[in-house]
Amino acid sequence: MANHNRTAQGGVSLVESMIVLFVLSIVIGTALPGLRSLGQRADLAGVASQLETDVQFARSQARVLNRTVRLSLLEAGGGTCYMVHTGAPGDCNCGGAQPAPACSGDSELLRAVVLDPKGDVQVRSASKSVTFDPLKGTVTPTATLRVEGRDGRAIHQVVNLLGRVRSCSPHGRGMGEAAC
């Protein structure tokens, strides 16, 4: 009868460790672009939601203040900003010579959102200023405010004559919005 005394081997060999590290690096490398895309999509949805809220804010402030309120959009240096304010469209700006958004004269700045030119999301529109009438409760002109991601995705905020906002995406249902 043979006596087989084996010593139990503990630990992990260097080769096994290297294989595990190699597999983990492939998995992480594959997942990172998807996580970045997910983050950009969340930023896009967040800015679109904030813009929709600010359109409703402008509409309600026109009624509360019994004054014409504007949502003005400015583009400079690749970045954009929008402001909710009273007064003429050119009375307010988002910075430039001034360090922060401000209005001149009798205009009052009610809200401002400045989007970093190096950021993943910008707001664009053919209408640079939308006016909310306090008496009629209407908006002129009607507008499509485009929230655009650096990756080409977009959410459109369509503002109708009554100041209501409908969200849609030119990319279809993939963005969680109705197709435009």
Q: What is the pLDDT of residue 64?
A: 95
Domains of the chain: 37-179 (3.55.40.10)
Give the pLDDT means over successive 10-residue stretches in the chain (180 positions).
Answer: 60 84 83 70 91 95 95 85 92 74 91 89 92 93 92 91 91 74
Q: What is the pLDDT of residue 116?
A: 86
Q: Are 69 and 110 in contact (CB under 8 A)?
A: yes
Q: What is the pLDDT of residue 128?
A: 92
> pTM of the prediction?
0.76
Q: What is the pLDDT of residue 55?
A: 95
Q: What is the pLDDT of residue 8?
A: 61
Q: What is the pLDDT of residue 59?
A: 94
Q: Are 83 and 101 in contact (CB under 8 A)?
A: yes
Q: What is the pLDDT of residue 99?
A: 65
> Cα separation of 22 and 32, whole Å?
16
The helix or strand, by DSSP H or E, that contains position 144, with its residue range, turns out to be strand 143-149
Q: What is the pLDDT of residue 30?
A: 76
Categorise residue 78: left if φ over 0, alpha if ψ from -120 to 50, beta otherwise.
left
